[in-house]
Structure 1
């Protein structure tokens, strides 16, 4: 009798290869963006041939969506340590701001690709479902931070998850753009902005 492991091995191997291809493609996608990156260009900048890339992904759109989903799956857990380890509201704010700066500095091309993809979804209907799902996961991530901050401050959030995410995402995108443009003091600037904004997300503290 064929074991469960043997029956599932081909599918697992196929998915593993897709993940390997996505990891290889992310750097090229982050450098070129949605419009300029073709499957052939991605293959030329990886260890995989164009034929192999095309075998596992039917077109550029499928590859890019898979790549961004894979990357953002990791991103949405980035602040879980901040939430779990903070014991004071000011401590959480500082750790959260530091983590924002860290990801801008270390992973700017990937974030640039995400914002590019989100903008493209305004015109490309096939992107919209994936973009909305990723956006919701990021919103939930931010809400975990805001909720923990409110809990530590003995207060309730004053805004909805959508509004809180919109505000913080806007600050992050502006900081990312400034960093990509070589603007000075971007990292200090977003730290100051987060310190100023977080208290505004709370209602009056409970007695």
Structure 2
């Protein structure tokens, strides 16, 4: 293949990928609002600037679109607490920074987090994206473990729990707070911030 043809081919691939990203961003809003079970490609199209035919051209079905969209969202999410880890100068700063960061994303991204938990629950029944969910879950676990590991370094003591236990505990706290937030309990984020900070101290 000549260099000119390669450039054209690359541009076509890039354009296809860009359009998929645009469609995924648009789909996320509809999916976050309605949930997996209540959303079809046609309904996603009705809530976006794209036709049903365009969605079907770029994605074979709803499962492929949903998995792609959530993966794009998680690419940002799985590094959410890295700045807290990088900038904290003490165990106390890290503890409170982690709690504040969790509370902040609960307030600003509740609908997207609801979509993630919806997808994770659906994967118990939908084998086609179970592997993707497990992969995302592992990345989220690694993100939390970086916080716990750094806190242990500040405290100069080993962590008392495994990465799996630490993630399960913080994830459980967050999911409960998310339910409260969606139920318009105004203090949900504040309680989460305090609970996260307190829980971290028990792991080291």
Q: Same-fold call, TM > 0.5?
A: yes
Matches within 5 A, 1:162-173: 162-173=164-175
**1:146-192 deviation digits (Å, cap 9, x = unpaired):** 11111111111111101100000000000000000112311121122
Q: How does 1:95-106 map to 2 (within 5 A)?
A: 95-106=97-108
Q: Say whether the 8 Å CA contact 2:106–2:178 is kept in structure 1.
A: yes
After TM superposition, the structure 1 = structure 2 runs for residues 154-193 of structure 1, keeping only pairs within 5 Å, are 154-193=156-195
Unaligned 5+ runs, structure 2: none
Task: Tell me the SS of whatever aligns to 2:37.
Answer: helix
Report what 2:41 is aligned to: 39
1:28-177, aligned counterparts within 5 Å?
28-177=30-179
1:201 aligns with 2:194: no
Structure 2 distance, partners of 1:103, 1:187, is 9
Post-superposition CA distance 1:184-204 (Å, at most 9, x none): 3111211221122111111xx
5+ residue gaps in structure 1? Answer: 203-207
Deviation at 1:29, TM superposition (A): 0.4
Deviation at 1:141, TM superposition (A): 0.5
Q: Could you tell me which residue of structure 2 aligns to residue 2 of structure 1? A: 3
Contact 2:98 2:197 survives alignment (8 Å): no
Q: Tell me how many residue pairs correspond in the alignment.
A: 202
Q: 4+ runs of 1 displaced by more than 4 Å?
A: none
SS in 2 for 1:34: coil
The worse-fitting range, judged by mean Cα deviation, of 79-88 and 184-193 is 184-193
Q: Deviations over 1:101-146 (max 9, x none)?
A: 1111111110000001100111111121010000001001001111
Secondary structure at the counterpart of residue 161 of structure 2 = coil
Distance 2:151 2:122 in 1: 33
Distance in 2 of aligned mates of 1:7 and 1:38: 32
Relative to the length of structure 2, the TM-score reads 0.96
3-state secondary structure, aligned to 2:95: helix
